[in-house]
Amino acid sequence: MNKHRRRPLATISMFGITYLQRQNPYLIAWWSAVYPGFGHYMLNQYFRATLLTLSEVTTNTVSHINQAIVFSFCGQFEMAKAVLKKEWLLGYCAIYFFAIWDSYRSTLVHNKLCELAEFENEQLPCIILHPNEIQYLEQRKPWLAALYSFFFPCLGIFYNQRWALAFYGIGWWWVYLLLSHAHVSLMNLLLGNIEASISVLDPQWLLFMPSVMGGAIYYSFMTVIAHNRLYRLEQRQHLLKRYRNSKLRIFS
Amino acid sequence: MLIIGTFEHCIELEQALAILEHSGIPREHILVVPMDTDPQPPIKLATKLGDRYSAAIEIGMACATGCSAMGTCFGFILTWGPIFWGLLAALIGFIIGFGLYLLVNKGAHRHLPKRLPEVTVIVQCPKEQSILVMETMWQYRVLTIGQTPEPS
């Protein structure tokens, strides 16, 4: 572990497990299109992904993109044009498409790096003890992560031990819930007050929610699968090393 | 005696091995063979996209999210409102993505049972110890156990 590892496949920090993984570049590009930054989360590039999501939520809100999308889909094109703030539009588009392109391009590079790391087969870490945290590779159930993220997005990420990202997401989900009044609307819907349930909603904030929920479910599901594979690989490396001097003979 | 047990990759496997070593079985009398469950080299398993259902769920979630955002928009002019239509569109999108993927990739993957013997552990021990070895294995999630007298 102390020896310098040139091409490691994964590393463990107090924030969780960071790893290289083969992924489909089109899917990563799609998640970037769903919400700029999500593609980079799937690539384990957490800081830049977080900055991209912050940039997205700010510029989308000040330029009223989500409201314009709702008006456009409902056929009210004049309203859509009126509500958009032109000062922000071109810059928003530039960053939006850059995020898609950059995550696509990075996936291609990561896939190559991942292959090299696999051939290198450096010993994987399995646990770290940090004064404030314990992080380790562990086998988990992917569907459980998806289910938690469905009930409250980012709980599945907490299940994956990426606690800082989980709390960042949980905080934002509360913001979306409060500003879009989605839970109030849901309760009205369940009580049968359909008109009230529609009129209470704020489209600008509501439209962030399907993307965030879908992204959180997908990300937590895929992360469990990746962690399970890393766990298996680490155990294989360990067992082969520990029992390589076996003198057991099956035949005399 | 030779005791042969098969395990999945799990923390209990390491617990079982630790207990066997501590109960006096020398490390040289234990042989651990990781088994491949896939024709590809084992190293690839670390990152290869898994079985066809998780790949289908992946595509399904992508479709669900797209459809859900559109359903939410349309919901503002439909009777039941954005929340209901958002959720319903997500469900429909998921079923379409999931179903189409399975349909297109029909028979492209091998069907494997849920629990696979991923590691085989062979322990050489005197006859008196064999019960202890087997009990330890049963206690720690062994899948199957076999025993055979030592070759002489």
B28 to A9: CB separation less than 8 angstroms, yes or no: no
Report chain B residues whose CB lies below 8 A from the CB of A208: none
pLDDT at position A198: 87
The CA distance from A233 to A225, in Å, is: 12
pTM (predicted TM-score): 0.86
The pLDDT-based confidence of B27 (bands split at 50, 70, 90) is very high
Q: Residue B130: inside a domain, yes or no?
A: yes
List the domain range (segments joined by +) for residue A231.
10-236
pLDDT at position A76: 84
Residue B152 has pLDDT above 80, yes or no: no
Q: Give yes or no: residues B63 and B89 share one domain.
A: yes
Report chain B residues whose CB lies below 8 A from the CB of A125: none
Q: Are B147 and B4 in contact (CB under 8 A)?
A: yes
pLDDT lower than 70: segments of chain A: 1-3
Nearest residue of A to residue B67 by CA position?
A210
Indicate the number of domains in chain A: 1
CA A124 to chain centre: 23
Percent above pLDDT 90 for chain B: 44
pLDDT at position B47: 43
Q: Residue A150: inside a domain, yes or no?
A: yes
Indicate the number of domains in chain B: 2
pLDDT at position B50: 55
Q: Are B20 and A246 in contact (CB under 8 A)?
A: no
Q: Residue B110: inside a domain, yes or no?
A: no
> Dihedral sign, CA of A164, A166, A168, A170?
negative
pLDDT, tens digit (0-9, with 9 covering 90-100), for A202-219: 989 999 999 999 999 999
Q: Give yes or no: residues B8 and B54 share one domain.
A: no
Residue written as tokens 């076999």?
Answer: B146
- Is the Cβ of B35 closer than 8 Å to some Cβ of chain A? no
Nearest to A248 among B9, B29, B81 (CB): B29
ipTM computed for the complex: 0.78
Q: Give yes or no: residues B58 and B99 share one domain.
A: yes
pLDDT at position B66: 87
B83 to A231: CB separation less than 8 angstroms, yes or no: no
Look up the CATH number of the domain holding residue B15.
Answer: 3.30.70.260
Interface test with B, best of A7, A28, A34, A70 (most B CBs within 10 A): A70
pLDDT, tens digit (0-9, with 9 covering 90-100), for B83-102: 778 888 989 999 999 999 88
pLDDT at position B110: 63
B119 to A197: CB separation less than 8 angstroms, yes or no: no
Q: Give yes or no: residues B59 and B88 share one domain.
A: yes
pLDDT at position B32: 94
The pLDDT-based confidence of B48 (bands split at 50, 70, 90) is very low
Work out the mean pLDDT of chain B and round it to a whole number: 84
Q: Residue B79: inside a domain, yes or no?
A: yes
Q: How far is CA A159 from CA A17, A50, A231, in A?
A: 12, 19, 16
List the domain range (segments joined by +) for residue B70.
50-104
- Is the Cβ of A154 closer than 8 Å to some Cβ of chain B? no
Residue B143 has pLDDT above 90, yes or no: yes
Residue B109 has pLDDT above 80, yes or no: no
For residues A229 and B58, the model is more confident at: A229
- CA R_g for chain A: 22
> Dihedral sign, CA of A171, A173, A178, A184?
negative
pLDDT at position B104: 85
Q: Residue A1: inside a domain, yes or no?
A: no
Strands B30-34 and A10-13: unpaired
A218 to B118: CB separation less than 8 angstroms, yes or no: no
Nearest to B44 among A20, A118, A215 (CB): A118
Nearest residue of A to residue B51 by CA position?
A225
